[in-house]
């Protein structure tokens, strides 16, 4: 996969500095005594080209943290910055536009469009953002087909979701999250339905985007095969990141020149 230049489908510059910065973030669901404190005083920095795993017991805030990073939710207190842009005060439409521009997301549930083929589902983020026709459409379709092949679905590109098993649908969702070559990918238990071979394919593809595009990844996982591939592991317990290392510069971040 080659990075696209200014004339390609997705050409853009990637600024220096922290890609993600969370300062004093709290997330509370509900109000008063009935409020559930999902995240408490979260401080975190993430650099381009870094792959971070977020681990911890179920119900301790991992999905809440990933939803904030994916701009699917807003913090109750504190600041969430993406590519230097404060997001907490953005209107819903502005936050959605920023998410479409910078972020790929894979949730625990694979939300594929049932009347679209696997290839069409992967293409969807591009067709929503760009007016694709002629050579640009052909280039985009080739990119989507390549991503599906890279996750082991070369022969299923024209299958509808109903014809795919849960693991295959999860692979389509992963390819869809990568098709815009985002700066940040947020993946919540994204390989939970994959076997060892499928996990290896996905992690190899993540590593390729890390090296080629400087993509940063935040993964929620309990799988040791994934943890062996990340640059940093964060432990989340009772809504708090353990230790001060969460806000420190990573020790093994990939420095990608753009």
pLDDT tens for the chain, 258 residues long, are 444 443 344 545 555 679 999 999 999 999 887 889 999 999 999 999 999 999 988 888 999 999 999 999 999 999 999 999 999 889 999 999 999 999 999 998 889 999 999 999 999 999 887 766 677 888 999 999 999 999 999 999 999 999 999 999 999 999 999 999 999 999 999 898 999 999 999 999 999 999 999 999 999 987 777 888 899 999 999 999 985 445 554 444 443 333
pLDDT at 225: 75
pLDDT at 10: 53
pLDDT at 7: 38
pLDDT at 129: 77
Taking the model in full, what pTM does it have? 0.86
pLDDT at 154: 97
CB 27 within 8 A of CB 13: no
Q: Which domains does the chain have, with CATH numbers?
A: 48-72+91-245 (3.40.50.300)
Name the percent of the chain in helix, strand, coil, to the closest 5.
35, 20, 40
Pairing label, strands 216-220, 184-188: parallel
pLDDT at 90: 93
Q: What is the rounded CA–CA span in Å between residue 100 and residue 12?
A: 14
């Amino acid at each position: 996969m080659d990075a696209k230049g200014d004339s390609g489908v997705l050409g853009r510059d990637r600024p220096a500095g922290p890609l993600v910065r969370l300062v004093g973030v709290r997330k509370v669901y509900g109000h008063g005594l009935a409020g559930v404190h999902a995240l408490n005083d979260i401080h975190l920095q993430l650099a381009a080209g870094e792959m971070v795993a977020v681990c911890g017991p179920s119900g301790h805030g991992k999905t809440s943290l990933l939803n904030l990073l994916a701009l699917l939710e807003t913090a109750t207190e504190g600041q969430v910055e993406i590519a230097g842009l404060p997001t907490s005060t953005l209107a819903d439409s502005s936050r959605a536009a920023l998410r479409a521009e910078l972020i790929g997301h894979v949730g625990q549930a694979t939300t594929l469009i049932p009347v679209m083929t696997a290839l069409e589902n992967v293409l969807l983020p591009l067709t929503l953002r760009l007016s694709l026709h002629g050579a640009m459409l052909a280039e985009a379709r080739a990119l989507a087909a390549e991503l599906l092949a890279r996750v082991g679905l070369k022969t299923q590109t024209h299958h509808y979701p109903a014809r795919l098993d849960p693991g295959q649908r999860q692979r389509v969702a992963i390819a869809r999250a990568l098709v815009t070559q985002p700066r940040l990918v947020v993946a919540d238990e994204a390989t939970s339905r994959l076997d060892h071979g499928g996990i290896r394919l996905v992690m190899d593809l993540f590593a390729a985007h890390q090296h080629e595009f400087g993509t940063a990844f935040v993964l929620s996982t309990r799988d040791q095969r994934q943890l062996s591939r990340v640059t940093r592991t964060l432990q989340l317990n009772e809504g708090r990141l353990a230790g001060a290392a969460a806000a420190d510069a990573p020790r093994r971040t990939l420095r990608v020149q753009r």
